[in-house]
Amino acid sequence: MLDIGLVHRKEYELDDGRSEPVVIAEAPGRIHFLGEHGEPKAGLYLSAAIDRQVRVAVSLRKDNSIRFYAADLGERKRTTLINLKYKREDRWANFIKVAIHVFAERGYPVKGLNFTVSGSIPQQVGLASSSAIEAASAAALRGFFQANIHDRDLVHSLTVSQNLFFGKSTLVDYLIAFQARKNQFLIVDEVRSEVKKIKSPLAKYRILIMDSRVPRVEVDEELKQRRGDIKKGLEILSHGKEGTSFRDFAAEDLVESMGDLPEEIRRRCMHVVQETQRVFDAEAAFREQDFPALSRIITHSHESLRDLFEVSCPEIDWLVKRAQEIDGVLGSRMTGQGFGGCTYTILREEAVEEYKKRLEDYERIFGFHPVFYEVRPATGTRIVRG
């Protein structure tokens, strides 16, 4: 990663003479191992922060301008507090604006500020690079203003602000970003806004994320349709009763209710219920270091995403199947929104070379050059300087 302090100083020293960063903060990306395609706003996840981060540097300006510099892209944006709003053309800078809005709403004296952002999180592959920008920016501003804001309150404010800017919120990503610890997996409960930490039992394993490089087209519409199916299914099962969640149903209940649910909706709902149970089962497997059970859970989860929720694709299925055939692989599964994107594979050191060899066949068969990243469970958002 770039020396963001040096880059920040060079970028702004001729601009207004106040170039030295007051605070530099860092936030991690994250990976969901289970639970990603669960019940909207009521999800249960097995996740971890990863050791790829975004860093944000902030310093004071003499004027009232707010300047943004993306060091990795060589791009610059600007705004003022009065004009602090979402703009499509501002792209990455909008994520920093989310954090600025939090502190402006809390009454902190947001005037002229310089921001620089740089990171090592692969973008647009489902590893929460945008949420990391927001979390790092919020942490940097908290340090800059010496604000006495608890992580819990900051997460809540970011959720509100992001919904205002983008019409959606990523509460789960914020919970992971602020509560993750090195070498720990997380059980994240979106309903209760709670995180349980589990010490990683995978010291003898490596985690590889594989970007299939498959172009992802019309993903938002497909996912919207599936969320609609889940909503309809829950309404039918609960007979419109408010406050009902899929956690109130066992898989057997759905089987008995097959006559009440259209087949496609039943499949979607079955995935959600079974995936929730898989998270609970995986938590037990982690704590007991029951690796055969964990392997089965991961395998069944991918099969469910493929056959019931139907968000996989031939390329992803090929990568998962080839990985599962290798001795020393604990599990492999798609991660992210689906219809392309990434897989993760948990494997022993001695299986890595054989795993890489399989990629030559992938490129020959499908024509895409895959890219892989090794990651480890990492610590959460923190101040690097300031």
- 4-200+378-385 maps to CATH 3.30.230.10: yes
SS3 213: coil
SS3 90: helix
Model confidence pLDDT, tens digit, residues 229-239: 999 998 888 88
**Phi, psi for residue 30 in degrees, rounded to 5:** -150, 160
Distance between CA atoms of 138 and 33, rounded to whole angstroms? 26
Q: What's the pLDDT at 22?
A: 86
pLDDT band at 17 (very low <50, low <70, confident <90, very high): low
Catalytic site residue from 3, 63, 173, 317 = 173
Instruction: Specify whether the CB–CB gap between 385 and 116 falls below 8 A.
Output: no
Model confidence pLDDT, tens digit, residues 120-146: 999 888 899 999 999 999 999 999 999
Those residues with Cβ within 8 angstroms of residue 291's Cβ, 6 or more apart along the chain or in another chain? 201, 285, 330
Q: What's the pLDDT at 245?
A: 87
Mean pLDDT across the stretch 309-319? 96
DSSP-derived pairing of the beta strands 65-70 and 113-119:
parallel
Mean pLDDT across the stretch 169-187? 96
Q: What's the pLDDT at 258?
A: 64
The pTM of the full predicted model, rounded to 2 decimals, is 0.94
Q: What's the pLDDT at 96?
A: 98
Q: What's the CATH superfamily of 205-375?
A: GHMP kinase, C-terminal domain (3.30.70.890)
Among residues 230, 209, 223, the alpha carbon closest in space to that of 372 is found at 209
Among residues 101, 162, 153, the alpha carbon closest in space to that of 130 is found at 162
- Distance spanning both ends of the chain, measured CA to CA: 19
**Phi, psi for residue 258 in degrees, rounded to 5:** -55, -35
Model confidence pLDDT, tens digit, residues 152-167: 999 999 999 999 999 9
Q: What's the pLDDT at 244?
A: 82
Instruction: Tell me the two tokens of residue 232.
Output: 């309809």
Question: Is 173 tagged catalytic?
Answer: yes
Q: Please name the helix (run of DSSP H) or strand (run of DSSP E) that holds residue 139, with its range, or none.
A: helix 129-144
pLDDT band at 247 (very low <50, low <70, confident <90, very high): confident
- DSSP result, 74-105: TEEEEEESTT-S--GGGTTHHHHHHHHHHHHH
Q: What's the pLDDT at 248?
A: 83
Chain center to CA of 384: 22
Among residues 269, 273, 327, the alpha carbon closest in space to that of 295 is found at 327
Express as a percent the part of the chain with pLDDT over 90. 80
Among residues 244, 247, 254, 300, the alpha carbon closest in space to that of 276 is found at 247
Instruction: Specify whether the CB–CB gap between 297 and 278 falls below 8 A.
Output: yes
**Phi, psi for residue 130 in degrees, rounded to 5:** -70, -40
Q: Please name the helix (run of DSSP H) or strand (run of DSSP E) that holds residue 22, with its range, or none.
A: none
pLDDT band at 250 (very low <50, low <70, confident <90, very high): confident
Instruction: Specify whether the CB–CB gap between 59 and 8 falls below 8 A.
Output: yes
Domain boundaries defined on the chain:
4-200+378-385, 205-375
Q: Please name the helix (run of DSSP H) or strand (run of DSSP E) that holds residue 335, with its range, or none.
A: strand 329-335
